[in-house]
Amino acid sequence: MINMGKKKYKVAIIGCGSMSSNHVYGYLTTDKFNIVAISDPHVKAMLEFDSIFAHMKNYSPKHFTDPLEMLDYSDYDVISIGTWHKLHSKWTIEAARHSPRVILCEKPMADSLKTAKEMIKSCEENNVSLIIGHQRRFLPSFIEAKDLISNGEIGKIELIKSDSAMGLFNWSTHHFDMFRFLLNDVECDWVMGSIERSSNRFEREIKIEDKAIGTFGFQNGTVAILLSDLTTNFYQGCMIYGSEGVIDLRTGYLRLFNGKTLGKWELRRIDGTYESLLDSDFEIKEASVRQVKEIYELLCGKIKIHRNHYINGYKALEMASAVYESTRLHEMIKLPLKTLDYPLDLLVDSGHVVPKTNEPYDIRNFLLRDKKGVRDFKLKRFD
């Protein structure tokens, strides 16, 4: 447990799923936040939360099945939103109207650039700091790789290559955010991409593709390539090729190859500040605590901008959208992207891509609950 002083900030949670549980773990581990309210339409989901966290200090929330009732009940310093994607914008906008100091919303930021802009507008009008949960910016190995790049250890970065899966608006938003983070948030200038959607595939009720490839050109000359569902060896991380060396980046370690390593790979395993690399949940726990610690630093004025400021979440969403738009228009897309609706919807609705089956299925159907709040692992479709 991290002891950072006496003052506690009040936190409310909207959506008691797995990602919100990571948020709560971060809040409680820092010992600077009280979880005072949680909301979910399923009572059983809230009871599961209680079973996980009731033994921890600073956890004694009031339960609400209606988030609006919870928002009206009290004032909160921080509101965490861990719902499915389509509800991110709705509850961020509603939460912002109640003027918390910070909103932490899970990734992807929204289900379209249009709704993301509406979230930003609401938060700016109500003087709320909006943070998007691309927590891997806080992983020790990612920070080490960024520092190695900044220090010129592998020269000029020429190419970054990643293998992803399960939808551009899902797993891949982490990769897009990672590209920008490693390059010190340099702007992505252009995108060229292509997708296949022969099935009627969804991910948490958002249409996704079966396969995708995207190429991204950055203003510093770096090119990044992402393959999604095209390889079996997908992971959070990447290969980084520089003019003077290579970095193989993973969530728990990295390997460095340059002139100083004398023709061999140098393995660097970087333990966490709060969690051990030996912990099976190291990646999520360590990053979640660090993400929350920086929220505390934002609240008490130690920093002015959080590492996961909404602009980074928006840029990741824009890069994903541009791959779909490149497919739709058969051309390279210059950013900023002008199409604000979800381009995959436009692709499907126009008949540009036609699934071979009309039977929809959701790859996250195992997360659905029945009317009693019990997860139904037999569900085959999202509807």
| pLDDT above 70 as % of the chain | 95
Mean pLDDT of 188-197: 97
- Closest residue by Cα to residue 37 from 83, 75, 90: 75
Instruction: Tell me what pLDDT residue 382 has.
Output: 41
Rg (C-alpha) for the chain, rounded Å, is 21
Q: What fold is seen in the domain 137-277+310-383? A: Dihydrodipicolinate Reductase; domain 2 (3.30.360)
Instruction: Tell me what pLDDT residue 369 has.
Output: 75
Residue 20 near residue 13, CB atoms below 8 Å: yes
Sign of CA dihedral 162, 163, 168, 173: negative
| pLDDT above 90 as % of the chain | 88
The pLDDT-based confidence of 379 (bands split at 50, 70, 90) is very low
Q: Across all residues in the chain, what is the average pLDDT?
A: 94
β-bridge pairing 211-218 and 245-249: unpaired
CA distance 167 to 172: 7
CA distance 198 to 209: 8
Residue spans in the chain of domains classed CATH 3.30.360.10: 137-277+310-383
CA distance 46 to 41: 9
Q: Answer with the residue of higher pLDDT: 237 or 281.
A: 237
Residue 45 near residue 53, CB atoms below 8 Å: no
Instruction: Tell me what pLDDT residue 155 has.
Output: 98
Lowest-confidence segment of 112-121, 124-133, 168-177, 269-278 by average pLDDT: 269-278
Mean pLDDT of 348-364: 89
Instruction: Tell me what pLDDT residue 378 has.
Output: 45
β-bridge pairing 223-228 and 157-164: parallel
At 25, is the secondary structure helix, strand, or coil?
Answer: helix
Mean pLDDT of 263-277: 93
CA atoms within 13 A on the CB side of 65: 5
The contacts of residue 57 (CB under 8 Å, 6+ apart) are: 1, 28, 31
164 pLDDT more than 90 = yes
CA atoms within 13 A on the CB side of 78: 27
At 245, is the secondary structure helix, strand, or coil?
Answer: strand
CA distance 73 to 71: 6
Q: Which CATH superfamily is domain 9-136+282-309 in?
A: NAD(P)-binding Rossmann-like Domain (3.40.50.720)
Residue spans in the chain of domains classed CATH 3.40.50.720: 9-136+282-309
Q: Answer with the residue of higher pLDDT: 1 or 308.
A: 308
pLDDT in tens, 304-343: 999 999 999 999 999 999 999 999 999 999 999 999 999 9
Q: What DSSP assignment string belongs to 308-324?
A: TBHHHHHHHHHHHHHHH
pLDDT in tens, 281-291: 899 999 999 99
pTM of the model: 0.94
> Between the CA of residue 378 and those of 365, 368, 374, 381, what are the distances in Å?
9, 10, 12, 9
pLDDT in tens, 25-70: 999 999 999 999 999 999 999 999 999 999 999 999 999 999 999 9
